[in-house]
Structure 1
Amino acid sequence: MGFFLETLFGGLMAGMLYSLIALGFVLIFKASGVFNFAQGAMVLFAALAMARFSEWIPGWTGIESRLVANVGAFLLAMALMVIVAWLIEKLVLGKLVNQEGITLLMATLGITYFLDGAGQTLFGSEIYKIDVGLPKDPLFLFESTFEGGVLIGKEDLYAAGIAAALVVVLTLFFQKTGTGRALRAVADDHQAAQSIGIPLSRIWVIVWSVAGFVALVAGIIWGSKLGVQFSLSLVALKALPVVILGGLTSVPGAIIGGLIIGVGEKLSEIYLGPMLGGGIEIWFAYVLALVFLLFRPQGLFGEKIIDRV
């Protein structure tokens, strides 16, 4: 039982991190109706910026302090993501207002390759370290109940707490603020939103900036765990099945979908892997997403679209 709980908790922690990346997909889709394939590249780009700025700031300032380096690197990386958001709106999205969805989708693919190349050009292609002080020592729970207790990484626990807090803030932002309601209006109908005075360009800069902030937080957490390397954008692809399960328009759905996939892949790898030859953790999420696409394409919490003719 102790080993099962350990695996379950590990899956929940991984699921929260998948959910954090999936939030970027949901935010952009809710505000523009665009499925943003560039979110993984944004996570990588933001993580590279954070890692490299934290290395460079002590040399720029002469202050050998990890706290100063990390705070400065975070602020600079966030400013860079806002600039990226502004450039995306001015050079790409602003030119494609009211175009077909496939056109916008292809635009995000172009943004993906641009960010991958720009990240390598600006920050290099080595493996970099992010150290924001998250504790890496293990934590043992239920020692009086199970022999040896249940092992949980403190880093995973802190990361899950950060992800959960961010989800609550974003949910309140969408539901309780005027800007959040404007974002939803733009997603429903670009022309109608413009006709009532909602500035489309400003809204898109805001939502891409928020998605950039989410990408930065996700990049910092994943970079702290795995190091910052170009395979990080592949890890971010695990968020695609998450949004398919939860629904493209649902922030809570991104969380539930991430938890389902995180727990499912861990348990299936441990208990079904020996019978099926292993490797289940690699493809489990995508097979589950395929099943949902066949039987419930709108996801668990997505809005069912009904076309009347």
Structure 2
Amino acid sequence: MMGFLLETLIGGLMSGMLYSLVALGFVLIFKASGVFNFAQGAMVLFAALAMARFAEWIPSLLGIHSRLVANVLAFAAAIAVMVAVARAVERLCLRQLVNQEGVTLLMATLGIAHFLDGFGQSLFGSDIYTIDVGLPKDPLTVLESTLQGGLLISKEDLYAAAIATALVALLALFFQKTSTGRALRAVADDHQATQSIGIPLDRIWVIVWSVAGFVALVAGVIWGSKLGVQFSLSLVALKALPVVILGGLTSVPGAIVGGLIIGMGEKLSEVYLGPALGGGIEIWFAYALALVFLLLRPQGLFGEKVIDRV
């Protein structure tokens, strides 16, 4: 019984780290523009499609037989694509909407999301693709001497959680310790004030959308390796919406904690409450929890409480 509970908790923690990784994209964009980026799920799908298709095309075009080399080149090409997307978003959309109301920028991200969904499938195809980056699929058995039968842990989930953890830590350091990270936080507070002291808003937005695109690419590669690259991947990525509501829209640590809580909560509720309630709890648990937080603590666990003076 204890072994099964631990397996469920560990599986939830690993899923939660992947949710946190996607949620970071929301946090990054919100920190830089003050708008909730509904295009993050579409960016995950677009990046995963680019990686999957480049991994197919590069070996035949360049005559490469090494899967590792092909994957590295495909990943680099996908990064270049996401940076190009970031520059296009800044030049064609965000630059035209500087100092506009937040709802205007929100609607712009919805338009970007639908465009990326359609354009990605037109450019790379709409079939189900696979991404093979060498993550092991077989389970790992640990604590055999302590628990009867030991604990079964997915090696793929373990590697994915380690990658997500490392990237989250690097981004947290980037925001706290670098001048660019501090500039990003300043831009989020006041666009006009940051421009008046010489911080170039267009360059900051390109940087933050490029970083968000890189995060989306890593998340897309991991999820694509687990589930395959298909349209539903963007819906899986939207599970990060409750994560940022729970943790706080402006908090990198909040994205981590929120992801872990959602990951563990949905696994435990599905296993222990699902049989009594008819199953399917894992689908709606995160959104129900986010609704509770919106009613009781709308700024999230680590978000900043906003006080407007009138």
Same fold (TM over 0.5): yes
Structure 1 residue identity aligned to 2:162: G
Tell me the equivalent position of 1:245: 246
Structure 2 residue identity aligned to 1:160: A
Aligned partners of 1:262, 1:306: CA distance in 2, in Å?
31
Matches within 5 A, 1:162-201: 162-201=163-202
Shift of 1:239: 0.2
Structure 2 residue identity aligned to 1:134: L
Structure 2 residue identity aligned to 1:12: L
Shift of 1:273: 0.7
Shift of 1:308: 1.7
Shift of 1:34: 1.2
Matches within 5 A, 1:147-296: 147-296=148-297
Aligned partners of 2:139, 2:275: CA distance in 1, in Å?
27
Structure 1 residue identity aligned to 2:48: A
Structure 1 residue identity aligned to 2:16: G
Q: Could you state the TM-score of these two structures normalised by the residue count of structure 2? A: 0.99
Shift of 1:68: 1.3
Shift of 1:243: 0.1
Shift of 1:141: 1.2
Shift of 1:63: 1.3
Deviations 1:8-50 (A, max 9, x none): 0000000000000000000000111010000000000000000
Deviations 1:176-230 (A, max 9, x none): 1010000000000000000000000000000000000000000000000000000
Aligned residues: 309
Tell me the equivalent position of 1:115: 116
Shift of 1:307: 1.1
Shift of 1:64: 1.3
The worse-fitting range, judged by mean Cα deviation, of 81-90 and 141-150 is 141-150
Structure 1 vs Structure 2 CA RMSD? 0.5
**Runs of 4+ that moved beyond 3 A:** none
Q: Could you state the TM-score of these two structures normalised by the residue count of structure 1? A: 0.99
Tell me the equivalent position of 1:27: 28
Deviations 1:225-271 (A, max 9, x none): 00000000000110000000000000010000000000000000000
Shift of 1:291: 0.1
SS of aligned partner of 1:192: helix
Deviations 1:141-174 (A, max 9, x none): 1111111111100010011010110011001100
Are 2:120 and 1:98 equivalent residues in the alignment? no
Structure 2 residue identity aligned to 1:296: R
Structure 2 residue identity aligned to 1:208: W
Gaps of 5+ in 2: none
Shift of 1:65: 1.2
Aligned partners of 2:288, 2:272: CA distance in 1, in Å?
17
Deviations 1:76-113 (A, max 9, x none): 00000000000000000000000000000000000001
Aligned partners of 1:136, 1:13: CA distance in 2, in Å?
15
Aligned partners of 1:150, 1:139: CA distance in 2, in Å?
8
Are 2:52 and 1:39 equivalent residues in the alignment? no
Tell me the equivalent position of 2:19: 18
Structure 2 residue identity aligned to 1:301: F
SS of aligned partner of 1:71: helix
SS of aligned partner of 2:29: helix
Aligned partners of 2:172, 2:6: CA distance in 1, in Å?
29
Aligned partners of 1:16, 1:127: CA distance in 2, in Å?
25
SS of aligned partner of 1:105: helix
Structure 1 residue identity aligned to 2:5: F
Tell me the equivalent position of 1:141: 142
Matches within 5 A, 1:49-60: 49-60=50-61
Tell me the equivalent position of 1:69: 70
Structure 1 residue identity aligned to 2:249: L
Gaps of 5+ in 1: none
Aligned partners of 1:38, 1:298: CA distance in 2, in Å?
21
Aligned partners of 2:15, 2:67: CA distance in 1, in Å?
27
SS of aligned partner of 1:152: strand
Structure 1 residue identity aligned to 2:147: F
